[in-house]
Amino acid sequence: MKVLVTGGGGFVGGALCRRLRDLGHDVTGLGRRANSGLTALESEGIRTVIHDLSLLEGVSDLARLFVEVDCVFHAAAHVKMWGPREAFVRGNIQATNNVITACRAAGVSKLVFTSSPSVIASDHDLRGVDESVPYPKQYRAYYPETKAVAERAVLSAHSATLRTIALRPHLIFGSGDTNLVPTILNRARAGRLVQVGHGKNLVDLTHIDDCVSAHVLAAAALDRRPTAGGRAFFISQGTPVPLWEWIGRILTLHDVPSVQRQLSASSAQFLATIAETIWKTIRLSSDPPLTRFLVKEMSTDHYFDISAARRELGYIPTCTVWEATEKSDN
């Protein structure tokens, strides 16, 4: 099978390129700009291309890249805690719309989209919920808002000629992680990691190996199970863990001192609101120390029912969060 992976220079995209190559597929990794991730793929014999998915005038060029491709894995995204809304719209909504348009123009038959559970994020705990939970009316951050728009576009595009599916892996970590664990460690080492809330909130996590397996299974399901198409699926290790206990274990494994400071969720929300107001008012380019969305992520329960992925995709986690944490080199 000939496949193309957007975001090939990133954490998920790079791991997916390697797995697909190992499975014998003809793989191309696409990135917006040259980076170490794409260079690593090239050194391993995986074809790479550079293209900005968000450019309206670049759709015809993108379609040419998609010619004879059987499946596009759209793993590219603008993932940040903070920043101008236009950047999220370009990187998540416009880029995804362009991918859909190019798939149709080139006759691509399958599109697997890497979404996020944050598309249903709200001010409330999410305890074992399934995919029937609706999108909220309002979002606290541009990332979940724009990812939700992109996900809906992908699912709406599902048809007899372009079969689509969306995966919602939660808090991905493991070998090659450039976001979750490195951010925790960097903040802790700088003395800027503060426990928010009581510390017992339960969350799902997803190891990169199982995340990649879910993508491969999703592509196969679009061929074998018509009922899987046009749907979103939660992906995780299947059993939630206390977030701050997991963070504590990460710090211990990396010989970083444990978190010593704590803020109540209400105090953190108050400070985050002030920080966001200041950053917006004087247009600071850096990330604020806290945002309202981040506070909710750090202090509430958010874990999900993966029964649909088990049933429709054949997805089975290979290890627990704790086992994955011990074997991870991040």
Residues serving a catalytic function are 143
What is the C-alpha separation between 135 and 237, in angstroms, rounded?
Answer: 23
Q: Which two structure tokens, joined as six digits, stand for 61?
A: 């060029």
Q: What are the start-end ranges of the E strands in 116-244?
A: 126-129, 163-169, 172-173, 195-196, 202-203, 206-207, 231-235, 241-242
Amino acid at site 309: A
Residues 6+ apart with CB under 8 A from 155: 164, 166, 230, 231, 232
Residues facing residue 49 across a β-bridge: 30
Half-sphere exposure of 268 (CA within 13 A, CB side): 23
- Coil/strand/helix, residue 224: helix
Closest of 83, 77, 66 to residue 32, by C-alpha: 77
Amino acid at site 34: A
- Coil/strand/helix, residue 162: coil
